[in-house]
């Protein structure tokens, strides 16, 4: 688990932090070393009209670090979301799914340290209590309060620790608390994840800010644990939902760290409508939205790739491009079969251009494939084609393509036009070390 110390300290974020509980008596959090794939710098996210952030130390599980984030949203904010497909989804996920039907969001409250998953009716009541308390504090409806929790499964959420500090958080909310917000939602993450973009709608500039957390139990669908994106654009919930779902398919639903799917995966998008006034938009296909969608997609992908870069134990980011499959669905299945193969991922970890394991992974995907039409490349080196090792194959050259921090594996199935792109990380002893002792 990462601590604040692991990331750049900024006075702005420190100011936004509610110190609801003294850290003095708490044991030090056990830190994993920062991922070697971490971005060199974190972007500074600009204030967003209608969004205020505050973080606090509730001591849900961790001590000596922030573990609760309250985001207050201005009246009229519209909301959309994409969630885990797990059949044992967490209480907060069940709650958010239900509240999204209203389309209106006034608050987001997130805690780390406890997932409130598999906690039965008590878990549902915890969410309800937090939502009611937040609604009372902010003067909105409980159904406009969204919640997400990440951490250990199966332990009751000590929600009173959260509601106790709500008043203070609501008071201390600031427009520039993005970095602190990203830090408060971390669990085993080794760096906070932030992304921002600007876009023009109808000639007016709007802003998109996003934060995310996640480093293990990362697989479609959904691939992240938690990601929250905010914009000051003025868009109705129905439009937000459509563009979010499409964007998620190309980002959070195209990454995998360990093939495990969380009970708590949550991606929420809020639009405050408090930015520059632009023309009314009622359809996701509106041409005035083209630039905005591009910007949103870039924020989603940026955050998703940061999640992969923080994959537990990761030392290499792997991009897998599949073309020539029966259709896009088949292509994605083949790409994920490669991305989830422990044998492919351990080979890459060992800087071994073991393309035979890629052949194996294509074969086990269960999708149409023809040995003799398959073409596999590492970087720009064709390593296998026409049913066997490429004539031009050069072991030293192939090895070079997997020695860097970023590896590209391309597979042309050669039978039709389906394509997909997914990302994963390598599989190292670090993953085992982290996950063999997560609870201890």
Residue closer to a second copy by CB (options 119, 207) is 119
Is 55 an annotated catalytic residue?
no
- Minimum distance of a second copy from residue 364's CB (angstroms): 4
- Minimum distance of a second copy from residue 345's CB (angstroms): 9
341 is an interface residue for a second copy by CB under 8 A:
yes
Residue closer to a second copy by CB (options 11, 33) is 33
Residue closer to a second copy by CB (options 46, 156) is 156
Interaction pattern, residues 4-43, with a second copy; x per rule: CB under 8 A: ----------------------------------------
Q: How many CB atoms lie within 10 A of CB 80?
A: 24
Interaction pattern, residues 119-148, with a second copy; x per rule: CB under 8 A: xxxxx-------------------------
Residue closer to a second copy by CB (options 57, 265) is 265
C-alpha closest to that of 339 among 363, 353, 356, 358: 358
In the set 224, 256, 263, 272, the catalytic residue is 224
- Minimum distance of a second copy from residue 293's CB (angstroms): 30
Tell me the C-alpha distance between 369 and 381, whole Å: 21
Residue closer to a second copy by CB (options 11, 436) is 436
Residue closer to a second copy by CB (options 85, 283) is 85
User: Which range touches a second copy (CB under 8 A), out of 14-22, 170-178, 278-286, 338-346?
Assistant: 338-346
- Minimum distance of a second copy from residue 16's CB (angstroms): 32
Residue closer to a second copy by CB (options 75, 352) is 352
- Minimum distance of a second copy from residue 95's CB (angstroms): 14
Query: Which of 87, 139, 203, 391 touches a second copy by CB under 8 A?
Result: 87
- Minimum distance of a second copy from residue 152's CB (angstroms): 6
355 is an interface residue for a second copy by CB under 8 A:
yes
156 is an interface residue for a second copy by CB under 8 A:
yes
- Minimum distance of a second copy from residue 167's CB (angstroms): 29
Q: Which residues, numbered 377-416, are part of the site for a second copy (CB under 8 A)? A: 384, 386-389
Phi, psi for residue 269 in degrees, rounded to 5: -125, 125
Q: Which residues, numbered 418-437, are part of the site for a second copy (CB under 8 A)? A: 427-429, 431-433, 435-437
Three-state SS string across the chain, please?
A: CCCHHHCCCCHHHHHCEECCCCCCCCCCCCCCCCCCCCCCCCCCCCCCCCEEEEEECCCCCCCCCCCEEEEEECCCCEEEEEECCCCCCCHHHHHHHHHHHHCECCEEEEEEEECCCCCHHHHHHHHHHHHHHHHHHHCCCHHHEEEEEEEECCCCCCCHHHHHCHHHHHHHCECCCHHHHHHHCCCCCCCCEEEEEEEEECCEEEEEEEEEECCCCCCCCCCCCEEEEEECCCCCHHHHHHHHHHHHHCCHHHEECCCCCCCCCEEEEEECCCCCCCCCCCCCCCHHHHHHHHHHHHHHHHHHHHHHHCCCCCCCEEEEEEEEECCHHHHHHHHHHHHCCHHHHHHHHCCCCCHHHHHHHHHHCCCCCCHHHCEEEECCEEEEECCEECCCCCHHHHHHCCCCCEEEEEEECCCCCEEEEEEEECCCHHHHHHHCCCCC
Beta bridge partners of 55: 17, 69
152 is an interface residue for a second copy by CB under 8 A:
yes
User: Which range touches a second copy (CB under 8 A), out of 36-44, 255-263, 317-325, 403-411?
Assistant: 255-263
Tell me the C-alpha distance between 153 and 188, whole Å: 14
347 is an interface residue for a second copy by CB under 8 A:
yes
Query: Which of 74, 242, 259, 328 touches a second copy by CB under 8 A?
Result: 259
* Tokens representing residue 48 in the block: 């967003």
Interaction pattern, residues 209-248, with a second copy; x per rule: CB under 8 A: -------xx-x-----------------------------
- Minimum distance of a second copy from residue 113's CB (angstroms): 13
Distance of CA 341 to the CA centre of its chain: 21
Catalytic residues: 224
């Amino acid at each position: 688990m990462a601590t604040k110390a692991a990331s750049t300290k900024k006075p702005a974020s420190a100011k936004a932090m509610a110190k609801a509980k003294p850290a003095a008596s708490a044991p030090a959090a056990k830190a994993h070393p920062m991922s070697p794939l971490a971005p060199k710098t974190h972007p500074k996210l600009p204030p967003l009209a209608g969004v205020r952030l505050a973080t606090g130390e509730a001591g849900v599980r961790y001590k000596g670090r922030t573990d609760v984030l309250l985001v207050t949203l201005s009246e009229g904010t519209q909301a959309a979301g994409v969630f885990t497909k797990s059949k044992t989804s967490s209480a907060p996920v069940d709650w958010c799914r239900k509240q999204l039907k209203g389309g209106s969001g006034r608050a987001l409250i997130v805690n780390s340290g406890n997932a409130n998953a598999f906690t039965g009716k008590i878990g549902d009541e915890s969410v309800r209590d937090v939502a009611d308390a937040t609604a009372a504090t902010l003067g909105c409806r409980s159904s406009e309060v969204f919640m997400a929790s990440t951490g250990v499964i199966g332990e009751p959420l000590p929600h009173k620790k959260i509601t106790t500090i709500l008043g203070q958080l609501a008071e201390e909310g600031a427009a520039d608390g993005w970095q602190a917000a990203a830090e408060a939602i971390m669990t085993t993450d080794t760096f906070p994840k932030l992304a921002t973009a600007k876009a023009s709608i109808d000639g007016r500039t709007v802003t998109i800010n996003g934060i995310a957390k996640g480093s293990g139990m990362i697989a479609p669908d959904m691939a992240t644990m938690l990601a929250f994106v905010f914009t000051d654009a003025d868009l109705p919930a129905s439009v937000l939902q459509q563009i979010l779902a499409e964007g998620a398919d190309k980002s959070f639903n195209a990454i995998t760290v360990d093939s495990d799917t969380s009970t708590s995966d949550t991606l929420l998008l809020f639009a405050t409508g408090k930015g520059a006034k632009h023309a009314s938009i009622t359809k996701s296909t509106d041409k005035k939205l083209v630039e905005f969608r591009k910007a949103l997609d870039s924020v989603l992908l940026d955050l998703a790739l940061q999640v992969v870069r923080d994959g537990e134990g990761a030392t290499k980011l792997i991009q897998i491009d599949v073309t020539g499959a029966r259709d896009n669905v088949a292509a994605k299945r083949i790409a994920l079969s490669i991305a989830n193969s422990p044998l492919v991922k351990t080979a890459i970890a060992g800087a071994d251009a073991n393309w035979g394991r890629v052949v194996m992974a294509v074969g086990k995907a269960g999708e149409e494939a023809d040995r003799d039409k398959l073409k596999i490349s590492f970087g720009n080196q064709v390593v296998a084609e026409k049913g066997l090792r490429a004539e031009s194959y050069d072991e030293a050259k192939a090895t070079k393509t997997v020695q860097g921090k970023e590896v590209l594996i391309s597979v042309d199935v050669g039978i039709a036009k389906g394509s997909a792109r997914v990302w994963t990380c390598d599989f190292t002893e670090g993953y085992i070390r982290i996950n063999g002792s997560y609870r201890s």
